[in-house]
Amino acid sequence: MSREARVWLAICLVSGGFLLYRGAFSDAGLGRIYVKPVAARPTIDSEAPGAAAAADEVPQAAREAAAEGAQGNAPGADAGAAANPGGPAAIPAPLVGEGQAWETARRGESGARVSIPRTVGLWLAAFFTLAIFSFLYRDNPCYRFAEAVMVGVSAGYAMVAGFWDALFPKLIARLAPATSQFLTGQREVAPVEWWALIPLALGVLLLLRLAPRGGWLARWPLAFIVGTYAGIRLISFVEADFVAQVRQSIIPLAVFDRNGQFDIWQSLQAVLMIVGLLSALCYFFYSLPHKGLYGRVARVGVWYLMITFGASFAFTVMGRIALLAARLEFLFDDWLWLIDPLSRRGTGG
């Protein structure tokens, strides 16, 4: 082990030891997440006749009982039902026996308790953050592990989102409305839409791309995707970018204020903007050689573009630095509890 590595190891051990000591043996504490049960919101069958009026008539006792049941108190379910005998049967069974909904709470808040899964997640997130940052030193197994997890989780998440946001509502719900009713809680079963068989068939053809034979059939759905996308983009870009930008550029070059006085400053800005736009467009027009007067105009356009790129670069840097600050805040605030800029932990703990 080199001298440099030994120094870094010593610094890490001392810092880690201090943080562990601080977290374990002082009141300051160390990365934990508190949760509290979500109070059930008594709901009414909104589609039933007179539901709105019935909602107002639900006894307060029933509401409280339902809320109590939601906090993991099993008898609360019965109490909620019993407190409303003969009523509109409006209060659903509280959240008992089917899992419990929890939400993040502040430390010291009434009813808040430490959540083991979320605390483990917090420490895992801290590990992932440090593992990615470790690449600044050099490529290492921790970084590559975190990178592999990121690829897997990202792909899995994209597939889940694709299924629940696109395939389910646009395909499955149309072909199997009963399933949709079970999964969405809709009251009425919609009729089957046989049109949905066409995208289903195209989708199956798309998957043939992975098959050893018949992969060429995947071109058909691909062509549909490319054609539709080309049509959508053509219209949206021409309408939103080309026409709208041209329209917004047709502005008066001589600007007068409310009193009818010539506003030289605003006029100068308008002229500079139009000159810049036209000269930059000249630079993008390659059908004419950039020589002579036209070349000089195009050169002015390049200056405008360089200033634009400089501003874009600055915004990119600021965005990345903001992200970096957010990650450091996560490490020092959420995980290590060294800082508390938003007073989220308060004094209750």
Residue 13 or 288: the one with the smaller Cβ distance to another protein is 288
Instruction: Map the footprint of another protein across residues 152-191, applying CB under 8 A.
Output: 152-167, 170-171, 182-185
Locate 318 and state its tokens. Answer: 């600021």
11-19, 49-57, 123-131, 290-298 -> range binding another protein (CB under 8 A): 123-131
Separation of alpha carbons 76 and 109, rounded Å: 23
Instruction: Map the footprint of another protein across residues 88-117, applying CB under 8 A.
Output: 92, 95, 98-104, 117
Q: Of 51, 305, 329, 333, which lies in the binding site for another protein, with binding defined by CB under 8 A?
A: 305
DSSP 8-state code for residue 95: S
Residue pair 96/77 in contact (Cβ under 8 Å)? The answer is yes
Residue 21 or 237: the one with the smaller Cβ distance to another protein is 237
Separation of alpha carbons 228 and 190, rounded Å: 27
Q: What are phi and psi of 38, to 5 degrees?
A: -80, 125
Separation of alpha carbons 245 and 239, rounded Å: 9
Handedness of CA 79, 83, 85, 90 (dihedral sign): negative
Residue 13 or 243: the one with the smaller Cβ distance to another protein is 243
Under the binding rule (CB under 8 A), the answer on residue 43 touching another protein is yes
Cα maximum dimension of the chain: 92
2-10, 21-29, 81-89, 193-201 -> range binding another protein (CB under 8 A): 193-201
Q: What are phi and psi of 187, to 5 degrees?
A: -80, -40
Residue 330 or 332: the one with the smaller Cβ distance to another protein is 330
Separation of alpha carbons 207 and 222, rounded Å: 11
Instruction: Map the footprint of another protein across residues 264-303, applying CB under 8 A.
Output: 269, 272-277, 280-281, 283-284, 301-303
Q: Of 19, 54, 105, 202, which lies in the binding site for another protein, with binding defined by CB under 8 A?
A: 202
Residue 313 CB, nearest approach to another protein (Å): 5
Separation of alpha carbons 115 and 104, rounded Å: 9
Under the binding rule (CB under 8 A), the answer on residue 48 touching another protein is no
13-21, 77-85, 194-202, 289-297 -> range binding another protein (CB under 8 A): 194-202
Residue pair 63/69 in contact (Cβ under 8 Å)? The answer is no
Separation of alpha carbons 321 and 319, rounded Å: 5
Q: Of 209, 263, 336, 349, which lies in the binding site for another protein, with binding defined by CB under 8 A?
A: 209
16-24, 38-46, 78-86, 340-348 -> range binding another protein (CB under 8 A): 38-46
Residue 304 or 337: the one with the smaller Cβ distance to another protein is 304
Instruction: Map the footprint of another protein across residues 3-32, applying CB under 8 A.
Output: none
76-84, 106-114, 214-222, 288-296 -> range binding another protein (CB under 8 A): 214-222
Residue 190 or 238: the one with the smaller Cβ distance to another protein is 238
Under the binding rule (CB under 8 A), the answer on residue 246 touching another protein is yes
Residue 25 or 99: the one with the smaller Cβ distance to another protein is 99
Residue pair 46/60 in contact (Cβ under 8 Å)? The answer is no
Residue 75 CB, nearest approach to another protein (Å): 18
How many residues belong to the site for another protein (CB under 8 A)? 130
Return the closest-CA partner of residue 202 out of 185, 221, 183. Answer: 221
Residue 10 or 324: the one with the smaller Cβ distance to another protein is 324
Residue pair 29/337 in contact (Cβ under 8 Å)? The answer is yes
CB within 8 Å of 30: residues ≥ 6 apart: 19, 20, 22, 23, 24, 335, 336, 337
Residue 10 or 120: the one with the smaller Cβ distance to another protein is 120
User: How far from each other are the two terminal CA atoms of the chain, in whole angstroms?
Assistant: 43
